[in-house]
């Protein structure tokens, strides 16, 4: 039942992205906002069906991703969305995406073939990075930096299968979204003057970093709750 539920959720998420992004590519402000509200409604419904620990993890990831989106898009301008805003569906979409990656990485078939999948994704990422350095008009140096981050998490991270799965999903989403013109990466990143592809190679490594940060925050919150509960448990009646 859990496997079937994971397959249904991952398939539903893929179908939502496949339909919602082309709609947003030609949507005006009203339809743009409606898609955002729909994404939040779907996230709220999906989270109701998850255990409390997963709900907390996804909510923290949404908060982390939203802060990074504000910095990366609205402040730094490393990439910009079609309407020069932060679409309402993007923070919710991060939650839907992360939950899909968690569910996909738990599928028995992928778990059984985890080593082969991780190795295959790493080889693909390395080839993509190498080719992007040779692609005109400028070498994708951001892709090289992100590839190094991805390699670090694959070799030393705690959840290499999740990182590989999220890398594949992010790659597909980036190629799809940029091809539709929904967001566009700057050819040269402001301030750093670092050339980047559209999308940058290996940008899927971002979810490995966000997952690590999310788990650290969740762990810290759990320790604080435990510390606060301990005095109450040991207090005399």
pLDDT at 232: 53
Average pLDDT score over residue span 217-225: 90
The three-state DSSP-derived secondary structure of 83-102 is: CCCCCCHHHHHHHHHHHHHH
The full DSSP string for 9-40 is HHHHHHHHHHHHHHHHHT--HHHHHHHHHHHH
Residue 167: pLDDT band with limits 50, 70, 90: very high
Average pLDDT score over residue span 20-43: 95
Sequence-ordered list of residues with C-beta below 8 angstroms from that of 125, at least 6 positions apart, any chain: 147, 150, 151, 167, 201, 202, 204, 205
pLDDT at 156: 94
The span from the CA of 41 to the CA of 193, in Å, is 39
pLDDT of 113 strictly over 70: yes
Q: Please report, for the chain, the start and end positions of each structural domain, with discontinuous segments joined by +.
A: 2-219
pLDDT at 230: 64
């Amino acid at each position: 039942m859990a496997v079937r539920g994971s397959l249904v959720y991952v398939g539903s998420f893929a179908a939502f992205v496949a339909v919602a992004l082309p709609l947003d590519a030609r949507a005006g402000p009203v339809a743009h906002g409606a898609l955002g509200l729909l994404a939040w409604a779907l996230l709220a419904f999906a989270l109701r069906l998850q255990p409390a620990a997963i709900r907390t993890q996804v909510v923290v990831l949404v908060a982390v991703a939203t802060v990074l989106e504000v910095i990366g898009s609205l402040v730094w301008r490393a990439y910009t969305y079609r309407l020069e805003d932060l679409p309402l569906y993007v923070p919710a979409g991060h939650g839907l995406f992360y939950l899909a990656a968690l569910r996909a990485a738990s599928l028995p078939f992928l778990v059984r073939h985890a080593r082969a999948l991780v190795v295959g994704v790493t080889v693909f990422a390395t080839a993509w990075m190498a080719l992007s350095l040779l692609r005109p008009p400028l070498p994708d140096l951001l892709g090289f930096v992100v590839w190094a981050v991805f390699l670090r998490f694959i070799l030393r991270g705690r959840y290499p299968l999740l990182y590989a799965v999220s890398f594949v999903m992010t790659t597909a989403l980036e190629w799809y979204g940029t091809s539709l013109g929904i967001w566009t990466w700057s050819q040269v990143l402001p301030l750093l003057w670092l050339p980047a592809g559209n999308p940058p190679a290996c940008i899927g490594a971002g979810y490995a970093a966000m997952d690590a940060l999310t788990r650290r925050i969740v762990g810290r919150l759990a320790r604080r709750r435990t510390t606060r509960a301990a005095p109450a448990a040991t207090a005399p009646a």
